[in-house]
């Protein structure tokens, strides 16, 4: 059955390559997306994680150190960056609506490339599956052929984790012998093989391609080849530097990590709701397995980049590596995502542009390679171009369009529900190949997160749209993170910025871990009264931060 399906896809793909509009001279795009990956990578100065393949890519790329997701959960984030619209525009805060029905018929990033003559291909988790992408991963709008999903993913949540006594469980921690797995493989191994197969099929065609590869890890469960744990001996693991719940953290801001609690090995710990904590020895094991999962993804990235080299495609293919959001590893007593903290919203964003971030070889010169051996270390690589300016995942769409030489989508008006093609992000091409701050770029990044109540509930992590009563709008600058939790009407998708339920203000020069909330030290009502309510929440929060900076600059070292 699988072989006949693949044969049909191959015929269909050949049809698109032969009859589609040719876009000669345009760059290909390889868009690599990890799931739940914070910037735990060597190229982001992480002292623990071993990620030589991504680090090697970074050495020839621009590495955005301050890149931020718009909502720290998979479905809303992916819909946001693939449409270049914020969650309030896509009207998606959970997994249970399709933006073309609930918000507007927005053009997606791959759809834009497809309409400009590209063959667009999807492997693994790119759009969030299910209702959020119309149960088709937005095919046929976004993709030239139906997206590929690895057959072994159907076993991801089943009882396949072997305990010491040989019994099988549905665990959080799940290192496995791959040969013993159903189908004898794992989803990301299948994704990698399919991506390489598609690259080979596109090598000798004149039609440029847009290939998106969505890895499933380091998303839970940590079902990974057991050999990757050897890279992280448990005796070398340490706890998060701030494993306690901050004393002044509002209840509405806390994420009770319910998806972790549902796993059998975690349930056996009998952890109290909502604050826990998880026993320290198990915390260390979670961190060990997360880091091992990152190295597992890194190895898959290496295989794909090696294939890109071997096929002679490196010199005319733009490569982007990123994630949908971050993941808490015990900071603030939290695990998983589901918050506005940096650990949940900050993501890696690495962009390689041929001839832009790395010079192309002259005629007769040896072609460079993306990939060295796995045992290589970050110290052996250059650091590429480190860009510290604030950027957002909604910026990826216009940036890739500009880098590929396509017309730049216009900035969205407000509101933009009836506008099919526009962007709420910015074109970052002028930042590529530079090492300094870009001072005239926007100095802020925005995220948001919904809650069902001011108090902590079992659905606080991921409330359905109908249950959302509070929205946490957050703005991040180089000095502050400021979040205001306000009333929200889920019927009209309307926030009331004057109905303040709680707030957070962290001064990062003194408190980089965001552990000391000083919001209550100031009369937020007076701030709002002074500023008034601006036409949009992003503008309002920017004005609040500007006010704090000017009004209280004598209090802190700025």
pLDDT one digit per residue (tens) for the chain, 558 residues:
344 444 434 444 434 333 333 344 489 999 999 999 999 999 999 999 999 999 999 999 999 999 999 999 999 999 999 999 999 999 999 999 999 999 999 999 999 999 999 999 999 999 999 999 999 999 999 999 999 999 999 999 999 999 988 999 999 999 999 999 999 999 999 999 999 999 999 998 999 999 999 999 999 999 999 999 999 999 999 999 999 999 999 999 999 999 999 999 999 999 999 999 999 999 999 999 999 999 999 999 999 999 999 999 999 999 999 999 999 999 999 999 999 999 999 999 999 999 898 776 655 554 456 554 333 333 434 567 889 999 999 999 999 999 999 999 999 998 999 999 999 999 999 999 876 666 666 789 999 999 999 999 999 999 999 999 999 999 999 888 999 999 999 999 999 888 889 999 998 989 999 999 998 887 665 565 555 545 578 888 888 777 776 665 544 443
Edge to edge, what strands does the sheet with 346-352 contain? 119-124, 209-214, 28-34, 317-323, 346-352, 62-68, 385-392
Helix, strand and coil percent figures for the chain, each rounded to 5: 35, 20, 45
Q: Which helix (H) or strand (E) holds 306?
A: helix 280-310
Predicted pLDDT of residue 520: 84
Number of helices followed by number of strands (H, E) in the chain:
14, 17
CA separation for the pair 2, 443 (Å, rounded)? 50
Are the C-beta atoms of residues 129 and 139 closer than 8 Å to each other?
no
- Could you tell me the residue ranges of all domains in the chain? 2-437, 443-558
Predicted pLDDT of residue 551: 60
Q: Catalytic residue, from 15, 43, 74, 501: name it.
A: 74
Q: What is the dihedral of CA 228, 234, 239, 241, to 10 degrees?
A: -70
CA separation for the pair 449, 486 (Å, rounded)? 11
Predicted pLDDT of residue 545: 77
Q: Which helix (H) or strand (E) holds 501?
A: strand 494-507
Q: Please choose, from the candidates 292, 263, 277, the residue with its C-alpha nearest in 3D space to the C-alpha of residue 334.
A: 277
CA atoms lying within 13 Å on the CB side of residue 440: 2
Are the C-beta atoms of residues 326 and 342 closer than 8 Å to each other?
yes
Predicted pLDDT of residue 372: 43
Q: Is residue 516 flagged as an active site residue? A: no
Torsions phi, psi of 543, nearest 5? Answer: -65, -35
- Cβ-proximal residues to 298 (8 Å cutoff; 6+ apart), any chain: 41, 50, 51, 52, 53, 54
Q: Catalytic residue, from 43, 128, 169, 325: name it.
A: 128
3-class SS at 399? helix
| CATH top class, domain 2-437 | alpha beta
Length of the chain: 558
Q: What is the dihedral of CA 128, 13, 25, 358, to 10 degrees?
A: 50
Q: What is the pTM of this model?
A: 0.91
- Token pair recorded at residue 76: 């809303």
Predicted pLDDT of residue 414: 87
Predicted pLDDT of residue 127: 98
Q: Is residue 128 flagged as an active site residue? A: yes
Q: Omega into 374 within 30° of 0, i.e. cis?
A: no
CA separation for the pair 425, 444 (Å, rounded)? 12
As to burial, measured by CB atoms within 10 angstroms (0-12 exposed, 13-18 middle, 19+ buried), residue 167 is exposed
As to burial, measured by CB atoms within 10 angstroms (0-12 exposed, 13-18 middle, 19+ buried), residue 513 is middle
Predicted pLDDT of residue 539: 82
3-class SS at 266? helix
Q: Please choose, from the candidates 277, 293, 295, 250, the residue with its C-alpha nearest in 3D space to the C-alpha of residue 456.
A: 250
Q: How many Cβ atoms are within 10 Å of 311's Cβ, its own excluded?
A: 15
Predicted pLDDT of residue 8: 39
CA separation for the pair 449, 80 (Å, rounded)? 13
């Amino acid at each position: 059955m699988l072989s006949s399906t693949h044969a049909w896809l191959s015929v269909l793909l050949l049809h698109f390559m032969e009859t589609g509009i040719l876009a000669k001279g345009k760059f290909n795009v390889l868009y690599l997306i990890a799931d739940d990956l914070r910037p735990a990578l060597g190229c982001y100065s992480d002292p623990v994680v071993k990620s030589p393949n991504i680090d090697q890519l970074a050495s020839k790329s621009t590495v955005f150190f301050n890149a931020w997701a718009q909502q720290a959960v998979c479905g809303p984030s992916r819909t946001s960056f693939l449409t270049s619209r914020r969650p309030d525009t896509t009207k998606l805060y959970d997994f249970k609506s399709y933006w073309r029905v609930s918000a507007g018929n927005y053009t997606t990033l791959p759809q834009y490339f497809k309409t400009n003559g590209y063959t667009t291909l999807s492997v693994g988790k790119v759009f969030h599956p299910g209702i959020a992408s119309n149960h088709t991963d937005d095919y046929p709008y976004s993709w030239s052929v139906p997206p590929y999903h690895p057959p072994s993913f159907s076993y991801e949540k089943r009882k396949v984790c072997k305990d010491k006594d040989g019994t099988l469980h549905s665990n959080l921690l799940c290192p496995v012998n791959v040969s013993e797995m159903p189908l004898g493989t794992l989803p990301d191994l299948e994704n990698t093989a399919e991506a390489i197969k598609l690259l080979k099929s596109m090598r000798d065609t004149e039609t440029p391609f847009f290939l998106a590869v969505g890895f499933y890890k380091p998303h839970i469960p940590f079902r990974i080849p057991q050999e990757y744990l050897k890279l992280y001996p448990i005796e070398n693991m340490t706890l998060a530097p701030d494993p306690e719940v901050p004393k002044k953290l509002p209840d509405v801001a806390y994420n009770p990590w319910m998806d972790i609690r549902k796993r059998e090995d975690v349930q056996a710990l009998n952890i109290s709701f909502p604050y826990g904590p998880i026993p320290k020895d198990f915390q260390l094991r979670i961190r060990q397995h997360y880091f091992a999962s990152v190295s597992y993804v890194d190895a898959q990235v290496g295989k794909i980049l090696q294939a890109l080299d071997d096929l002679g495609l490196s010199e005319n293919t733009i490569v982007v590596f990123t994630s949908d959001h971050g993941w808490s590893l015990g900071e603030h007593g939290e695990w998983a995502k589901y918050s506005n903290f940096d650990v949940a919203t900050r993501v890696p964003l690495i962009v390689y542009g041929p001839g832009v971030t790395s010079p192309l070889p002259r005629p007769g010169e040896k072609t460079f390679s993306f990939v060295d051996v796995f045992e290589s270390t970050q110290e052996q690589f250059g650091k590429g171009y480190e860009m510290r300016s604030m950027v957002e995942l909604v910026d990826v769409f216009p940036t890739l369009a500009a880098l590929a030489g396509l017309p730049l989508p216009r900035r969205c008006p407000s509101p933009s529900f009836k506008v099919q093609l526009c962007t709420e992000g910015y074109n970052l091409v002028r930042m590529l190949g530079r090492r300094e701050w870009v001072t005239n770029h926007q100095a802020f990044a925005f995220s948001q997160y919904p809650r069902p109540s001011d108090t902590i509930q079992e659905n606080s992590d991921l409330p359905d749209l109908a249950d959302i009563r509070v929205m946490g709008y957050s703005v991040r600058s180089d000095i502050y993170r400021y979040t205001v939790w306000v009333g929200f009407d889920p019927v009209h998708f309307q926030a009331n910025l004057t109905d303040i339920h709680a707030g957070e203000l962290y001064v990062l020069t003194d408190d980089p871990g965001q552990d000391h909330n000083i919001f209550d030290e100031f009369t937020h009502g007076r701030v709002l009264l002074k500023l008034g309510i601006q036409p949009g929440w992003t503008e309002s929060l920017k004005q609040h931060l500007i006010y704090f900076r000017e009004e209280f600059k004598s209090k802190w070292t700025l």
